[in-house]
Amino acid sequence: MKRSQSFIRWFFLLIPCLALSGCWDRRELDEIAIVMGSGVDLTDDGQIELSLQIALPMGIQGNMQMAGKKKPVMLVSSKGTVSQDQIGQIQQQLSRRIFFGHRAVFIIGENFARHGVDQTLDTMLRFPDSRYNCFILTSKGATAKEVLSSPYPLEVIPSIGMKNMQVGKYTFAERIDKFLDSFAAKGFMPATGAIRLIKNGQESSFVIDGEAVYRENKLVGYLSGTHSKAFKLMRDQGSGMKIPVRIEPAGKLSTGMITADLLTTRREVRTFVSQGPPKIEVEFRAKGRIIANDTTLDLSKPANLSRAEQMLSNELQKMISGLIEQTQKEFQSDVLGFGDILHIQHPYAWKKLQTEWLDTYPEVPVKVLASVILERIGRTQKPGHLPK
């Protein structure tokens, strides 16, 4: 009796050992093709083109001496009608298995975005090795493939360069999950950073200096300049932003401009529902410091400082209302998520509003208030170079 029992116990324990050793999903490092960035385009003949930037371990290993000889990445692409099918086609070009776990960026080509982003979105979520910490970008004036094949001198792998730009706070960054979430939301339209190619002397490179605005699933336009800045402020990615403003007419020795660096920003949105379209009030508050004073004024004097604060507040107010007007009139897209706030503040009214919010939004009156507090003015009081 005892012997048979212990035999059965050993049987229970030993069989799993056999099964545990044979792993169907085993993937060794030298068997996978690590995708660092991927992009999707619509070609002129209506096909979808998928491009993958794959890291070449051989190119990275040799460090700086080798870097010139071997390329650190390779670009593969394939055309077709279904994006998932093209991954299979690309696989046929590769001796290693495609692995998406380290994908840093996903670039949507401008042409593709304008015709509607749809089927590729599902691929991002359904795959077990798709990760959330991948950034979404939309290309501007170039295809995603061109952007992915552009070299980038500062990093070994260009996609890592894009990722680090997005992690740093100087570009508008949107991750996959938030992007998908805004597709599903009724009161919140998707937006991504916009990436375009530039030439630095002889070398070509890329820059992320604007935002792509979507309406439902279609790209409707790009934000740039002050509107792009205002957009980052409104999406709580504005700390560290530099805002120049004129506070006195240009003189002989000065341009009359100061530049403020925003330290913390806070936006508050209030919505009002009564008869007719709802009303929206945006209150924007920021704390900042002066980092450049090219005027004749001594900012340590309270009167001058409050003048600077006043001018800055006006400037921010103008920037934000300009942005809102552009989203309402030009894009007709609620990228700032006012609908979501309306949903939270007036849930019962929203039930009626949500069906036609896309058409209501351009008509909604928005009032913008902005106020800035300057906490510090830097190491000097009066500009040091001015004659006493």
Partner 1 sequence: MKVTGLQVFWMILIMEVGMTLVMTLTPGVQAAKQDLWIAILVAGLITLLITFLVTNVTLLYPGQNLIELSQTILGKWLGKAVIVIYLVQWYTIIPIVLRQFADVINIMIMPETPKWAIMLIMILLFSYAAYSNGIVTISRCSEILGPIIILMVILVLLSSVNNIRLTNLLPVYADSGALNIIRGSLPSASYLGHSVEYLMLAAFLYQPRKGTPYAYWATIGSILVVTVALAMAIATIGINLTPTLWYPFFEMTRKISLFGFVENLDPLTIVTWVASVFIKLAVYMFITAYGTAQFLGIRKWRPLVIILAPIMLWFALIPRNVTEATTNYLMNYWVPFVLPVNMIGLPLLLLIVGKLRLRAQA
Binding site for partner 1 (CB under 8 A): 5, 8-9, 12-13, 15-16, 19-20, 22-25, 101, 125, 128, 131-133, 167, 177, 180-181, 184-185, 340, 343-345, 347-348
Nearer to partner 1, 12 or 200 (CB): 12
Rounded Cα–Cα distance for residues 74 and 29 (Å): 17
* Closer residue to partner 1 (CB): 42 or 121: 121
Q: What is the DSSP string of 139-192?
A: ESSS-HHHHHHS--TTSSSHHHHHHHHHHSTTS---BHHHHHHHHH-SS---EE
The distance of closest approach from Cβ of residue 330 to partner 1 in the complex, given in angstroms and rounded to an integer, is: 26
Closer Cβ to partner 1, 15 or 303, answer by number = 15
Query: In this complex, which beta carbon is closest to partner 1, that of residue 73 or of residue 342?
Result: 342
CA angle 155/157/160 to nearest 5° reads: 80
User: What single-letter amino acid sits at 266?
Assistant: R
Q: Closest CB to partner 1 among 166 and 293?
A: 166
Residue with smaller CB distance to partner 1, 91 or 224: 91
* Minimum separation from the CB atom of position 232 to partner 1 (A): 18
Dihedral sign computed on CA atoms, order 318, 320, 322, 325 = negative
Token output for 357:
């919010």
Q: Nearest approach, Cβ of 264 to partner 1 (angstroms)?
A: 17
> Minimum distance between the CB of residue 341 and partner 1, rounded to whole angstroms?
8
Closest separation in Å from C-beta 321 to partner 1: 24
- Output 66 or 167, the one with its CB closest to partner 1: 167
List, in order, residues 6 or more apart from 61 with CB less than 8 Å away: none
Minimum CB–partner distance for residue 14 and partner 1 (Å)? 9
Q: How far is the CB of 290 from partner 1 (least distance, A)?
A: 31
Q: Are 205 and 152 in contact (CB under 8 A)?
A: yes
Helices (H) and strands (E) in the chain, counts: 14, 13
What the block records as the tokens of 71 is 């390329």
Q: How far apart are CA 223 and CA 225, in angstroms?
A: 7
